[in-house]
Amino acid sequence: MKILVTGGAGYIGSVATEQLIHAGQSVVVFDNLYQGHREAVHRQAAFVQGDLADAAAVDAVFAAHQPEAVMHFASHTLVGESMQDPFRYLGDNVTNALNLLRAAVTHGVRRFILSSTANLFDAPQQIPIAETEAIVPGSPYGESKYIIERFLHWMDHINGLRFAALRYFNAAGATEDRGEDHHPEFHLIPIVLQVALGQREHVTIFGDDYGTPDGTCVRDYIHVSDLAQAHILALHALDQGSRVYNLGNGQGFSVQQVIETAREITGHPIPARVGPRRPGDPATLVAGSQRIRDELGWQPQFPDLRNIIASAWRWHRDHPHGYAGA
Ligand SMILES: NC(=O)c1ccc[n+]([C@@H]2O[C@H](COP(=O)([O-])OP(=O)(O)OC[C@H]3O[C@@H](n4cnc5c(N)ncnc54)[C@H](O)[C@@H]3O)[C@@H](O)[C@H]2O)c1
């Protein structure tokens, strides 16, 4: 199958591209390199540099490459930024996705996978969070993903476009060749490892007075390879109908546990300072991923926090300046 991967030069999209190619698929990456890296794109993938805001460029990539499926990773991705600049999210994220959807429908594409988010669940009644949980977006970022999910629902109904919305919790870890390299970086594990590399003096813990066992926030970290595998399984299941899945490894780890595990793995003291809580941070977010396990047989290969951090550490140690030094 030929698959168009938007955002395939970014963190998760580049690993999905790698795995699709290893699975024998043909991939076209469409990315404006706003956050992504040309070096992250697998050599066997075709690469088109372009912006989803440019509807003509999006249409041209479908006309030239005739993809049979789309995996849509390209997005503004920051919850905090979306609270400062909602137009970037409720505006750009949505209109960019609409340009993509319009071109997909026009060119007869019937399979679409969306990177959605755990930020759809700001007020969960039950942890782990199942797909039956009420949707309460926690920010314009989460809302933008939900709007796109709703468009997909109607494209399915009207145009027969089968879709999977994969609501990720915290992607983490690295493969041998691809890792996390965002500028600026807001994710905990790479930040902790930057301290171990001597690139930051300390890591800030945003609040240690939550109602969790050690007082710090608990999150669900899912290895980026396990996430990519879920995309491949979902792609093959689409002919049986559209679906939504919550995707995490089902276990929560606290900020304190992440820092302590990183200290063990790196052998570095990794100084930590406690700062104030960040507005809007729930105490615990853990995914219930039973549905994708039952329906698609998805099984995370790297559920252990040590393995996740060790894989990220190998990549950061080998690429201390990210892809820029590759
Ligand atoms: N990283 C996580 O933990 C996480 C969690 C939940 C959901 N997600 C979602 O997964 C997806 C991928 O996340 P990531 O961490 O790999 O992000 P990333 O920033 O590393 O990758 C996004 C890629 O999209 C590209 N891009 C952005 N806007 C574009 C545009 N207008 N046109 C073309 N390309 C554009 C960027 O250059 C980048 O390469 C995003 O949709 C994000 O919202 C990520």
Cβ contacts of 132 within 8 Å, gap of 6 or more: none
Catalytic residue among 141, 168, 210, 245: 141
- The pair phi, psi for residue 157, each rounded to 5°, is -60, -45
Q: List, in sequence order, every beta strand (DSSP E) within the chain.
A: 2-6, 26-31, 46-49, 69-72, 111-117, 162-168, 170-172, 203-206, 218-219, 221-223, 243-247, 253-254, 272-275, 284-285
Other residues' Cβ atoms within 10 Å of the Cβ of residue 176 = 10
Residue pointed to by tokens 């393995």: 307
According to the model, what pLDDT value does residue 9 have? 98
Give yes or no for a contact between 89 and 47, defined as CB atoms under 8 angstroms apart: no
Whole-angstrom distance, CA of residue 90 vs CA of residue 42: 31
- How many CA atoms lie within 13 Å of 141's alpha carbon, on the beta-carbon side? 22
Which ligand 1 atom lies nearest to the CA of residue 141?
Answer: 43
Q: Please, what sign has the CA dihedral across residues 194, 196, 202, 205?
A: positive
Give the pLDDT confidence score for residue 325 in this predicted structure.
65
Query: Coil, helix or strand for 113?
Result: strand
Residue 221 annotated to the active site: no
- Least Cα distance to 4 among 59, 43, 55, 76 occurs for 59
Peptide linkage before 128 cis (omega within 30 of 0): yes
What is the distance in A from the centroid of ligand 1 to the CA of 268? Answer: 30
| DSSP letters spanning 168-237 | E-EEE---SS-----SS---HHHHHHHHHTTSSS-EEEE-S-SSSTTSS-EE-EEEHHHHHHHHHHHHHH
Query: How far is Cα 77 from Cα 117, in angstroms, rounded to an integer?
Result: 10
Of 266, 241, 262, nearest to 253 (Cα)?
A: 262
CA distances from 165 to 114, 175, 241, 280, 310 (A): 5, 24, 12, 24, 29
| Residue 160 backbone zone (phi > 0: left; psi -120 to 50: alpha; other: beta) | left
Residues paired with 203 in a beta bridge:
272
Structure token pair of residue 274: 């406690």
Using alpha carbons only, give the angle 220, 221, 223 rounded to the nearest 5 degrees.
145
**Mean per-residue pLDDT of the chain:** 96
Residue 70 tokens, joined: 């789309």
Distance of alpha carbon 8 from alpha carbon 21, whole angstroms: 12
Q: What is the pLDDT of residue 324?
A: 86
Q: What pLDDT digit, counting tens, does each position of 18-47 carry?
A: 999 999 999 999 999 999 999 999 999 999
Q: Per-residue pLDDT tens, the chain, 326 aa: give them.
A: 999 999 999 999 999 999 999 999 999 999 999 999 999 999 999 999 999 999 999 999 999 999 999 999 999 999 999 999 999 999 999 999 999 999 999 999 999 999 999 999 998 999 999 999 999 999 999 999 999 999 999 999 999 999 999 999 999 999 999 999 999 999 999 999 999 999 999 999 999 999 999 999 999 999 999 999 999 999 999 999 999 999 999 899 999 999 999 999 999 999 999 999 987 788 999 999 999 999 999 999 999 999 999 999 999 999 999 998 65
Q: Is 27 helix (H, G, I), strand (E, B) or coil?
A: strand
Among 12, 17, 59, 70, say which to mutate for ligand 1: greatest number of ligand atoms within 8 Å of CB.
Answer: 12
8 A C-beta contact, residue 27 and residue 186: no
Q: Which residues line ligand 1 (CB under 6 A)?
A: 6-7, 9-13, 31-36, 51-53, 73-75, 77, 96, 115, 117, 168, 170-171, 182
